[in-house]
Structure 1
Amino acid sequence: MASTDFILLDRVSEMEKLDLCLKDITVTLLNRDPLVQFTNGVIRERKREGFRYALRRWSKLMKTAGIKVRDTVDFSFDENEQVLSVEKVVPYVTSSN
């Protein structure tokens, strides 16, 4: 996996039916004002038993959503609309001893 990919949860991959048809995913950034929406490609990667799916251009998602390494991100997936949403980004805070 390239460092610019983001592995999708198996549950999201199943709801998106990526095993039947590899397609782009609509991403909505609910944590941005105004709301931002864009399309991101998906790639298939072989794993021991079957496949896993990853978003291409994870760096675009991180930059646009304001996500930094080690931040906590709340995602949701709307099965009816087929949209992956970033609901909340909680910045990582280093603890000082």
Structure 2
Amino acid sequence: MEDEKRIGVYICHCGLNIAGTVDVEELAKYAATLPNVVISRDYRYMCSDPGQDLIKNDIKELGLNRVVVASCSPRMHELTFRKACQSVGLNPYLYE
């Protein structure tokens, strides 16, 4: 039997790169209403150590088994977030 999906959604401001165009707080509020989303957060620089720590702590404390990060290009930070997930025991391929 498949585990219940417990999804964390993390939306990065990317300074003003994203936040200058998108209402990041409203998007995070909306994401929180989606099925199986346990937590939805926004943070100024999700790729920073404190941003990654937010994700890692939520995985551990809330039992997340899926992570979605809306940020700048995956080319720049996909590996960063995969490693953060893997460091706390989440399959890095359950990050999108």
TM-score by length of 2: 0.29
Structure number with higher helix proportion: 2
Higher Rg: 1
Structure number with higher strand proportion: 1
Say which structure, 1 or 2, has more relative contact order (CA 8 Å, 6+ apart).
2
